[in-house]
Chain A
Amino acid sequence: MAHAYTPGLRVTPDAVIRKRRVLPLPGEVTVREGDLVTAPTEVARAELPGKVYPVNVANKLSIAPGELSAYLLKREGESVAKDETIAENHPFMKWFQTQVRAPTSGRIESISHITGQLFLREPPELIRLSAYIDGTVIEVTPGQGAVVESHCAFIQGIFGVGGETHGEIALAVRNPEEILTAEHLNIEHQGRIVVGGALAARETFARARALGVRALVVGGVHDHDLKSLLGYDLGVAITGTERIGFTLIITEGFGTIPMAKRTFDLLAAHAGQQASCSGATQIRAGVIRPEVLIPHGNVSQPQQPYATSKTEEGGIQVGDVIRIIREPYFGVLARVKDLPSELQKIATESHVRVLMATLPDGHDITLPRANVEMIEG
């Protein structure tokens, strides 16, 4: 049977997710294989070397770099406090003395007798890496990190901003078509992952931030509202480090687009449960999509991990349900009727690979294969 290689977003009530938690630089892993962890559990830590401050001592003292040693009060490797004198000249009258003080507290890392510079490094900063999800540590890479496995419901969004967070899922609207307004949000949503419907606008964002909502999960947003939320026009979809007060995940796309019923129902079914989510998105090679993970609590059940999904095995097939992801049918669900192999001419006059699909109202349409995505379960 014919098939097509098609991207898809995974929305499933039951999956085994493995999260590789790796430090950005070598450090210490604080868990062992088999440990049960919760989202905030520290799994590894590392010391990020402090910032380096070059101080051009030779310039400040008006001496040649080669003469530096005679004027330094500190040596390589020594610690200094902020504003402590690290070098000084010896004028005939003390009134004319010039002192060079440390711009920050730290340790003298190196001294250059060619350029007359001294490099002062701030104390290291401790990085603590959390487990992010409730689960079991199934693998440890010494000095680097660990893999945490969790048996959970798993929902991939299409785009998000903001980093990792966790909290209880709360439903704020009655159906996936309803727009999440500021009025829907109240004090009960503080510290929670709030699920909306077709859209959240800038007033909703302001209210969510004021209330201390951890995350918003909605069908769509308008681009100009995202711009006002971020304070700039996002050029490339590489996100996850924004500091906007909460994490935002959209499941469908830009515009007013009802959340897919399957996604909404799955989130609704887990209202009141603890979940982890991340807005991190990277659409270039090595795709990262935002996600909501709702652990089932039973972390030891052996299951197939997420890596082998249907799209990776063979792609779309006749009878599959697809979501159309480009105008003129953007957001509509349809069922694949045929996958003709010949190229066909479309309205733009391009010759492309197409599929035939049946819309919910019974009409058949022809679509470029590139403009549909699988709904994976």
Chain B
Amino acid sequence: MTSHPLRIILATDCGSTTTKAILVQQLGDEYRQTHRGEAPTTVEAPFEDVTRGVLNAIQEVEELSGRTILDGERIITPARGDTGVDIYISTSSAGGGLQIMVAGVVKSMSTESAQRCALGAGAIVMDALAANDGRPSYEKIERIRHLRPDMLLLAGGTDGGTIPHVVEIAEYIAAADPRPRLGIGYQLPVIYAGNIDARPQVQRILGERTALSITDNIRPVLEQENLMPARHKIHDLFLEHVMAQAPGYKKLISWAGAPIIPTPAAVGMIIETVARREGINVIGVDIGGATTDVFSVFQSIFNRTVSANLGMSYSVSNVVAEAGLDNIRRWLPFAFDEQTLRNQIKNKMIRPTTIPQTLNDLQVEQAIAREALRLALEQHKQLAVGLKGVQQERSVSDAFEQTASGQSLVDMFALDLIIGSGGILSHAPRRAQSMTMMVDAYAPLGITRLAVDSIFMMPHLGVLSTVHEQAATEVFAKDCLVPLGTCVAPNGTGKPGTPCFSYRLALPDKRLLEGTLAVGDLQLFPLATGQEASLEVTPTKGFDFGAGNGKKFTGKVHGGVVGLLLDARGRPIITAREEAARVRQLQAWAKAVDLYPEEREGNVESRSQKTE
């Protein structure tokens, strides 16, 4: 870590396909993101050196900023005048990111805790083994043997609890004799974070066959999770073992002024920081080419999941396979032949870097994005749960409420803010498209604010928060986060066209707007970024804004670049089955929020005159 003040900061994120660089500078008494560059990531042949892509991205920043940052292939630090930067920091998901396999004793307890621990550290969990997962033991051994993860996290047993069961899993790992994905001849890093009484046995079984590290139990008692020591160990091993084997990373590590962390871990840090500082419940999503990462902070508890193979380029076809073509089609505001649609999606899969050139193409991709977002949140809800197996004390009144341990923490009524990131959300031609994609996918309830990452810089800001939290949060608020507005929606369903709710909206300019929305209506009110209005909504019977069925609800709503969206479509959002009706319905919704340009025909441009 540097000892001089950090006024000019260079951050890169080495993604699986693109390396993005940003320059953050102190201007007056505030920090701002000033320039951005990008270049293809170069971990693969013919370069096989991640630093080539980093240098190329930095060169683009140099050209745009006019600042000399590189002296040959060296980053100049600290900054002097128009030369150099005070610190260089980086995140990385190049080469497939950090891939972990977790194992525990009880599937819904220690294994789930291990899974949360690994996901929170920014890993992709390749599989979660448990002594009671129903698979025959030889199948578990085969699974460990074939997956070739970057590391393995073994948990199980409370301190002082079961020994044989966790030892049994350790024996399976030893029998499989697993090899790491990177680095022939290296031993697989294994972290043991289970019952402390089983440490000697685990050491004896795995000590020679694997690169074993022992850390605190992640579930020392049933009522408590202790994930941080194992998470720190994962980050240490990521640097020492995984990245050290990846091409060019040793050099990159030597350049960086702070530890390089996995990209999703960095995004999680910034989401967690926002939730903590504002004291709110947040869902963040990063929809990428290969995966969709979901982050949530509810009741101050942070969770992260990665939905591998739910993405918009490499895995676009898998979204369709998982969601089903009918679920994609329900978001398309035009008629489409199935074979053409299927071929179009597969063509995107095999040429993932292409971009939609026609409006219909864009609408297809945004329809798929809605389903990817929806499926990833469903998966997140299943893992973002309270601790299972915990005994609850119940009073007589509780006995009438059938709540169990292990309920999902994700409560859409309690959700304050949704933050979207990733190409399809950050680079949507109209911000209203980003907002409706998230609203349609997540179906938020009550009053929910929405925002989008302007140019996908949350990973950079996450790692920046580890060295300069003030700079990270200032840039996040001023340059990264684009407030889209607020969505107000009740839970419930009703017959289309019948009254859903009435509203009274007191705008900042003292105007009072009143009206009624019918079931199926969508209405957008202009309310600019920074503006605040008071809203009173009275739902009809069968609808609930959070105060109860049919009960009046009041609250503050915040503006954004899109505005205030009153959504009377009901929950879940149902589109018409019959094609012509569905097209009419979707076109009406699109018109209500000015979603697309009027001219739907045509391509990139009309053909020009024939050349001479």
Contacts and interface: CB of A to CB of B under 8 A. Distances in A.
On whether the two chains bind one another, the answer is: yes
Interface of A: 5, 7, 25-26, 49, 51-54, 65, 109-110, 112, 114-115, 117, 119, 121, 144, 158-159, 222-224, 226, 233-237, 253-255, 281, 283-287, 307-308, 312, 325-330, 337, 346-350, 352, 354, 358, 361-368, 370-371, 373
A229 B356 CA distance: 29
Contacts of B94: 285
Interface of B: 16-17, 40-41, 43-46, 94-96, 137-138, 141-142, 163-164, 167-168, 171-172, 174-177, 179, 184, 201, 205, 290, 309, 314-315, 317-318, 320-322, 339-340, 342-347, 349-359, 361-362, 427, 429-430, 597, 599, 602-605, 607-611
B343 A222 contact: yes
27 contacts: A52-B141, A54-B138, A54-B171, A54-B172, A112-B171, A117-B171, A222-B342, A224-B339, A233-B320, A234-B321, A236-B318, A283-B349, A286-B44, A287-B44, A308-B46, A326-B355, A328-B357, A328-B603, A329-B603, A347-B358, A361-B610, A363-B610, A363-B611, A364-B611, A366-B604, A368-B355, A371-B354
Nearest to A65: B164
B184 A144 contact: yes
B607 A365 contact: yes
A114 B204 CA distance: 12
Contact of A327 (B16, B172, B290, B344): B344
B351 A348 contact: no
B532 to A, nearest CB: 30
A172 B612 CA distance: 41
Nearest to B142: A51
B209 to A, nearest CB: 11
A235 B349 CA distance: 9
Contact of A307 (B46, B179, B340, B602): B46
A354 B355 CA distance: 11
Contacts of A49: 177
B356 to A, nearest CB: 5
A235 B317 contact: yes
Given A285-B95, A286-B45, A363-B610, 19 more contacts: A54-B175, A112-B171, A115-B168, A115-B171, A234-B346, A236-B309, A236-B317, A237-B314, A254-B342, A254-B343, A254-B347, A283-B350, A284-B96, A346-B357, A348-B356, A348-B361, A349-B430, A350-B429, A361-B610
SS of A interface (majority)? loop
A368 B320 CA distance: 25
Contacts of B356: 326, 348, 350
A287 B184 CA distance: 21
A54 B142 CA distance: 11
Interface centre among B96, B142, B317 (most CB of A within 10 A): B317
A365 B604 contact: yes
Contacts, number: 200
B611 A358 contact: yes
Nearest to B198: A114
Contact of B350 (A114, A254, A361): A254
A237 B322 contact: no
Given A51-B138, A115-B168, A224-B339, A326 B354 contact: yes
A5 B41 CA distance: 13
A117 B179 CA distance: 23
Contacts of A350: 355-356, 362, 427, 429
B605 to A, nearest CB: 5
Given A25-B179, A368-B355, A159 B317 contact: no
Contacts of A307: 45-46
B318 A235 contact: yes
Contacts of A308: 46
A119 B309 contact: no
Given A284-B314, A362-B611, A346 B605 contact: yes
Contact of A110 (B44, B175, B315, B340): B175
Contacts of A285: 16-17, 41, 43-44, 94-96
Nearest to A354: B604
Contacts of B179: 25
B359 A348 contact: yes
Which has the most chain B C-beta neighbours within 10 Å: A65, A144, A253? A253
Contacts of B322: 235
A119 B96 contact: no
A62 to B, nearest CB: 15
A50 to B, nearest CB: 11
A119 B314 CA distance: 40
Given A5-B40, A115-B171, A326 B357 contact: yes
Contacts of B184: 26, 144
Contacts of A373: 351
A5 B339 CA distance: 32
Given A54-B175, A110-B171, A253 B605 contact: no
B347 A330 contact: yes
A312 B142 CA distance: 40
B141 A234 contact: no
Contacts of B142: 51
A338 to B, nearest CB: 11
B171 A223 contact: no
A121 B171 CA distance: 13
B429 A349 contact: yes
Contacts of A347: 357-359, 597, 599, 602-605
Given A308-B46, A347-B602, A114 B357 contact: no
B604 A368 contact: yes
A348 B360 CA distance: 9
Contacts of B602: 347
Contact of A367 (B45, B345, B357): B357
A368 B356 CA distance: 9
Nearest to A256: B343
A212 B128 CA distance: 41
Given A114-B163, A362-B611, A363-B610, A346 B346 contact: no
B342 A224 contact: yes
A65 B201 CA distance: 14
Contacts of A326: 347, 351, 354-357, 361
- Most chain A C-beta atoms within 10 Å of own C-beta, residue among B17, B138, B177: B138
Given A222-B339, A327-B358, A362-B611, A115 B164 contact: yes
A237 B311 CA distance: 13
A371 B317 CA distance: 19
Contact of B201 (A114, A224, A284, A330): A114
B13 to A, nearest CB: 14
B346 A254 contact: yes
A254 B309 CA distance: 20
Contacts of B346: 223, 226, 234, 253-254
